[in-house]
C-alpha cells in the first residue's frame, strides 16, 4: 500500500470565460490516511478531483494518481483508484449487482471475487437488495451504491467528493465510520462542506478558496491555531463584558454567548491572556476561563477573512 | 500519514481479492455486455422492436389476405423480387434504430451522472466507445432483423422455401449490418459532439433521414448521382436482391426534360458506407477522448 499516492503540480484550470477555477495548486500525499479538502462552493474542490481522474484537462500543471497521469494513461492512473465525483449514476435499467459488477470486472476481478466484493460492500454499506433496479432506488440508496462502486476491488486510493451528500444522519455516521476504518490502509481525499465530518475523519486538511490553497496542515494544529486566540469566560453572575473599556482595549473582539458567558478574541500571547484574566476578575466573579472549543468551520471562516497563508 | 481518531470504525479490510490485469479486449467485452444489458431493458428498445414487429407483421398479413396468386403475379413470380420490395424500407429502420441507440450513447456521459460512474473506471475511452458501439450495433441489427425474418417468412409462404435466394438474402443482411455500422458511426459522432442526449438523437434523425433524403432529391433533380448520401448507399440492401436492377433510370418530364432516378449498386453502396465508417468513427473517438466533464 506504500505506493498509494496522489499529487498535483502547479495545477491550474481556466475555462474560456471567467476567472481561473484553480490557480497553481500543488500538493502531494503518499502512504495511508485521510486528507480533508475543504472550501465553499466554487472553491475548486470538485475541479481538482476531476483533473486528477482526467475528466478535465489542466490548463497548466500536472495531476498524478499513483504516479500516473490520467490525462496520459487513464488505465494505469485509475487502475487502483476509486472515485466518487459529483453524483455518479449507473444506468437506471440495471440492478444493483450489475451496476457493481461492471466496476469490479473492469478492475480485474473474477466473477467469484466480484460476488465476494459485492457481499462485502453490501455488509459495509447496508446496500439495497441487489436485484433492485438502480432507477427505483432512493437518493440515499443510490449514493450508497456509488460509494460501494468506489470500494469494489479494494483500490488503495479513494477520491470522495461530498461522500455523505444525500444521506440521512444514520447513513452519515455509517460512512464516517467506514472511512475512519479505511484510512488505516488507504489514502483518501475527502472533499466536503461538512467541517465537523472532516475533523472527525481526516488527519490533515487543505483549505481551498477561490481556486487557491489557503492552508494545508494537520487538523488539530489548524484548530489549535485558532483556538489559542480565543477564550470563553463564564461568570457566577450576569456581567456586561461588552461595555468594559479595559477589556475592549486589549481584546480584538467580544461576543456574548449568554448573560454570564462571553467569548473573547485576542492576539494569543500569554501576556495578553494574563491581562484578560485580571480584567475579567475585576468585572465579576470568574467561574471558568478556558480556551474556546472552536470548530474547524470557524477556523476556516477566519482563514478566509485573513487571506492566503503559506501552504 | 498517520491516522488518529476516537471515532468507532467499521472494519473495512476485505479478505484479499486478486485483481488480474485486464486487456482492452476484455474490457471491451465487459462494456459491450453492460451496455447491451441496458439497451434491451429500455423503453425505446421495446418500442422500436414492437413497432418493427407490428409494421412487418401487418404488411405480411395484408399480403396473405391478398392471396398467394396475386402476390406471385405482382412480384413477377420471383421471390427475390418479393424480398427486394419487402426490404425496400429497411433503411428507415436502420436510421431510426441508429438514432435512438447511438444518438445519445456518448453524450449521456456529459449530461447525466453516467459519466461520473463510467469515466472514472480504468477503461480507456476508445474501449468504452467500442463497447457501446458494438452493443448499439447488435440491438440495431435485432430491430432490422425483424424485417428480414418477416420478409423471409413471406417469401417461403408465397414461393416455397426452395425458391428463396437464401445466399442473396444473407448478403443483403450483411449489407444491412454494414449500413448499421455506418449509420451508428454518424450517430456516435453527433453524440460525441453535442452535450444533450435528446439533441443527439434528434440531430442524427434529421441528418440521416430528412437531410440526406432532401439533398438526395435535389441532387437527383439536377441530374447527378447522390453518391455522398448514406441513405442512398443503404439502398444496396434491396438492390442485391433485385434481379432487374437498374442503376439509373431516365424519366421524361415534359418536353425535352429528363428526370434521373439513381439506385446504388452493391459495390457503390458498400464503398459509401465504408467511407462513412472510416471518417465518422475515428472522428467520434477523437471528440469523445477530448471532451471534458464540465457540468
Query: According to the per-residue pLDDT averaged within each range, which of B15-29, B31-45, B188-202 is highest?
Result: B31-45
Residue B76 has pLDDT above 80, yes or no: no
Report the distance separating Cα A279 and Cα A272, nearest Å: 10
Residue A209 has what pLDDT? 87
Question: Could you tell me if A213 and A234 lie in one domain?
Answer: no
Question: Could you tell me if A58 and A111 lie in one domain?
Answer: yes
Question: Could you tell me if A114 and A239 lie in one domain?
Answer: no
Question: Could you tell me if A211 and A268 lie in one domain?
Answer: no
- From A89, A102, A185, residue closest to B113, measured CB to CB: A89
* Domain's final residue, options A217, A243, A268: A217
* Domain's final residue, options A217, A245, A262: A217
Report the distance separating Cα B36 and Cα B131, nearest Å: 9
Question: Could you tell me if A177 and A201 lie in one domain?
Answer: yes
Question: What rounded mean pLDDT belongs to chain A?
Answer: 88
| Beta-carbon count within 10 A of B246 CB | 10
Question: Could you tell me if A264 and A200 lie in one domain?
Answer: no
Task: Answer whether residue A223 is part of any domain.
Answer: no
The percentage of residues in chain B with a pLDDT greater than 90, rounded to a whole number, is 55
- Confidence tier at B224 by pLDDT (50, 70, 90): confident
What is this model's ipTM? Answer: 0.85
- From A54, A93, A200, residue closest to B38, measured CB to CB: A93
Q: Strands of A60-65's sheet, edge to edge?
A: A22-30, A5-13, A60-65
Domain holding A264: CATH number? Answer: 3.30.70
Question: Could you tell me if A184 and A259 lie in one domain?
Answer: no
The percentage of residues in chain B with a pLDDT greater than 70, rounded to a whole number, is 94
Residue position matching grid coordinates 486478486? B18
Q: Which of A194, A155, A207, A198 is nearest to A179 (CA)?
A: A198
Range of A10's domain? 5-217
* Cβ distance of A124 and B12 shorter than 8 Å: yes
CA B227 centroid distance within chain? 19
Residue B6 has what pLDDT? 46
Question: Could you tell me if A95 and A244 lie in one domain?
Answer: no
Residue B271 has pLDDT above 70, yes or no: yes
- Tell me the per-residue pLDDT of A24-82, one tens digit each, with 9 for 90 and over: 999 999 999 999 998 888 889 999 999 999 999 999 999 999 999 998 999 999 999 99
Question: Could you tell me if A40 and A76 lie in one domain?
Answer: yes
* Cβ distance of A203 and B123 shorter than 8 Å: no
Residue B269 has what pLDDT? 93
Residue A227 has what pLDDT? 62
Residue A305 has what pLDDT? 66
Pairing of strands A22-30, A5-13: antiparallel
Task: Answer whether residue A222 is part of any domain.
Answer: no
| Under-50 pLDDT residues of chain A | 1-2, 309-311
Task: Answer whether residue A278 is part of any domain.
Answer: yes
**Helices B166-193 + B197-205 axis angle, to 10:** 130
Instruction: Please tell me the total count of domains within chain A.
Output: 2
Rounded to 5 degrees, φ, ψ at B115 are -65, -35
Domain holding A49: CATH number? Answer: 3.40.50.300
Residue A35 has what pLDDT? 96
The grid coordinates of residue A38 equal 475543504
Q: Considering only residues B12 and B197, tell me which one the structure prediction assigns the higher pLDDT.
A: B197
> Region B242-246: what's the mean pLDDT?
79
Task: Answer whether residue A311 is part of any domain.
Answer: no
Residue of B nearest to A202 (CA): B3
Residue A268 has what pLDDT? 79
Q: Compute the nearest-CA separation of B129 from chain A (Å).
A: 14
Cα-atom radius of gyration of chain B, to the nearest Å? Answer: 24
What ranges do the domains of chain B cover? Answer: 24-290
Residue B232 has pLDDT above 50, yes or no: yes
* Cβ distance of A93 and B292 shorter than 8 Å: no
Q: Which of A33, A36, A70 is nearest to A50 (CA)?
A: A70
- From B22, B117, B292, residue closest to A108, measured CB to CB: B22
Residue A155 has what pLDDT? 95
Residue of A nearest to B43 (CA): A93
Residue A293 has what pLDDT? 60
With 0.80 as the threshold, say if the pTM is over it: yes
Question: What rounded mean pLDDT belongs to chain B?
Answer: 88
CA B278 centroid distance within chain? 16
Among A85-89, A174-178, B182-186, B247-251, the least confident range: B247-251
Task: Answer whether residue A288 is part of any domain.
Answer: yes
- Confidence tier at B253 by pLDDT (50, 70, 90): confident
Residue A69 has what pLDDT? 94
- SS3 assignment, position B254: coil
Question: Which residues have CB under 8 Å from B139's CB, separation 6+?
Answer: B36, B39, B40, B45, B97, B101
Residue A311 has what pLDDT? 38
B43: contact with A, CB 8 A cutoff: no
Residues of A in contact with B124 (CB under 8 A): 74-75
* Cβ distance of A89 and B116 shorter than 8 Å: yes
Question: Could you tell me if A178 and A294 lie in one domain?
Answer: no
* Domain's final residue, options A217, A239, A262: A217
Question: Could you tell me if A38 and A10 lie in one domain?
Answer: yes
The grid coordinates of residue A242 equal 461588552
Amino acid at each position: 500500500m506504500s505506493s498509494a499516492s496522489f499529487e498535483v503540480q502547479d495545477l491550474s484550470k481556466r475555462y474560456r470565460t471567467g476567472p481561473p477555477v484553480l490557480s497553481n495548486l500543488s500538493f502531494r500525499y503518499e502512504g495511508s490516511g485521510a486528507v480533508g479538502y475543504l472550501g465553499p462552493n466554487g472553491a475548486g474542490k470538485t475541479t481538482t478531483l476531476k483533473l486528477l481522474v482526467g475528466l478535465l484537462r489542466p490548463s497548466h500543471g500536472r495531476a498524478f494518481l499513483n504516479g500516473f497521469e490520467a490525462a496520459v494513461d487513464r488505465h494505469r492512473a485509475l487502475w487502483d483508484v476509486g472515485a466518487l465525483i459529483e453524483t455518479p449514476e449507473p444506468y437506471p435499467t440495471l440492478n444493483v449487482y450489475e451496476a457493481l459488477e461492471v466496476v469490479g470486472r473492469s478492475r480485474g476481478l473474477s466473477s467469484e471475487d466480484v460476488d465476494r466484493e459485492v457481499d462485502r460492500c453490501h455488509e459495509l454499506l447496508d446496500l439495497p437488495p441487489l436485484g433492485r433496479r438502480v432507477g427505483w432506488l432512493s437518493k440515499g440508496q443510490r449514493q450508497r451504491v456509488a460509494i460501494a462502486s468506489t470500494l469494489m476491488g479494494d483500490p488503495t486510493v479513494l477520491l470522495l467528493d461530498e461522500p455523505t451528500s444525500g444521506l440521512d444522519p444514520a447513513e452519515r455516521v455509517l460512512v464516517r465510520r467506514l472511512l475512519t476504518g479505511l484510512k488505516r490502509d488507504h489514502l483518501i481525499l475527502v472533499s466536503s462542506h461538512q467541517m465537523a465530518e472532516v475533523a472527525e475523519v481526516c488527519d490533515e486538511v487543505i483549505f481551498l478558496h477561490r481556486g487557491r490553497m489557503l492552508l494545508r496542515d494537520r487538523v488539530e494544529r489548524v484548530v489549535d491555531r485558532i483556538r489559542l486566540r480565543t477564550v470563553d469566560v463564564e461568570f457566577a453572575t450576569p456581567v456586561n463584558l461588552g461595555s468594559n473599556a479595559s477589556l475592549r482595549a486589549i481584546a480584538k473582539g467580544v461576543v456574548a454567548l449568554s448573560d454570564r458567558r462571553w467569548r473573547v478574541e485576542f492576539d494569543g500571547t500569554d501576556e495578553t491572556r494574563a491581562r484578560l484574566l485580571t480584567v475579567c476578575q475585576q468585572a465579576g466573579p470568574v467561574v471558568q476561563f478556558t480556551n474556546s472549543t472552536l470548530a474547524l468551520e470557524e477556523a476556516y471562516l477566519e482563514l478566509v477573512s485573513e487571506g492566503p497563508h503559506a501552504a | 500519514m498517520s491516522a488518529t481518531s476516537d471515532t468507532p470504525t467499521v472494519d473495512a479490510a476485505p479478505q484479499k481479492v486478486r485483481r488480474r490485469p485486464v486487456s482492452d479486449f476484455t474490457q471491451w467485452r465487459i462494456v459491450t455486455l453492460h451496455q447491451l444489458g441496458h439497451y434491451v431493458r429500455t423503453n425505446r428498445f421495446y418500442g422500436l422492436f414492437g413497432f418493427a414487429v407490428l409494421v412487418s407483421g401487418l404488411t405480411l398479413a395484408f399480403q396473405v389476405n391478398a392471396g398467394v396468386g396475386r402476390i406471385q403475379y405482382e412480384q413477377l413470380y420471383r421471390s427475390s423480387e418479393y424480398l427486394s420490395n419487402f426490404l425496400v424500407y429497411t433503411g428507415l429502420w436502420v436510421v431510426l434504430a441508429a438514432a435512438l441507440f447511438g444518438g445519445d450513447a456518448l453524450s449521456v456521459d456529459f449530461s447525466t451522472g453516467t459519466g461520473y460512474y463510467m469515466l472514472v473506471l480504468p477503461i480507456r475511452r476508445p474501449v468504452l466507445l467500442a463497447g457501446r458501439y458494438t452493443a448499439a450495433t447488435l440491438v440495431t441489427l435485432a430491430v432490422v432483423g425483424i424485417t428480414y425474418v418477416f420478409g423471409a417468412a413471406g417469401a417461403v409462404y408465397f414461393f416455397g422455401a426452395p425458391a428463396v435466394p437464401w445466399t442473396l438474402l444473407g448478403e443483403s443482411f450483411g449489407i444491412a449490418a454494414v449500413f448499421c455500422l455506418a449509420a451508428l458511426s454518424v450517430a456516435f459522432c453527433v453524440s460525441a459532439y453535442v452535450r444533450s442526449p435528446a439533441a443527439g438523437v434528434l440531430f442524427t434523425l434529421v441528418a440521416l433521414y430528412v437531410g440526406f433524403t432532401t439533398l438526395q432529391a435535389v441532387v437527383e433533380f439536377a441530374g447527378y448521382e447522390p453518391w455522398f448520401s448514406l441513405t442512398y448507399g443503404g439502398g444496396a440492401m434491396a438492390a442485391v436482391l433485385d434481379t432487374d436492377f437498374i442503376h439509373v433510370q431516365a424519366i421524361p418530364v415534359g418536353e425535352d426534360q429528363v428526370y434521373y432516378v439513381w439506385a446504388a449498386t452493391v459495390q457503390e453502396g458498400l464503398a459509401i458506407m465504408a467511407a462513412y465508417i472510416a471518417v465518422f468513427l475515428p472522428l467520434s473517438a477523437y471528440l469523445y477522448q477530448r471532451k471534458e466533464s464540465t457540468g
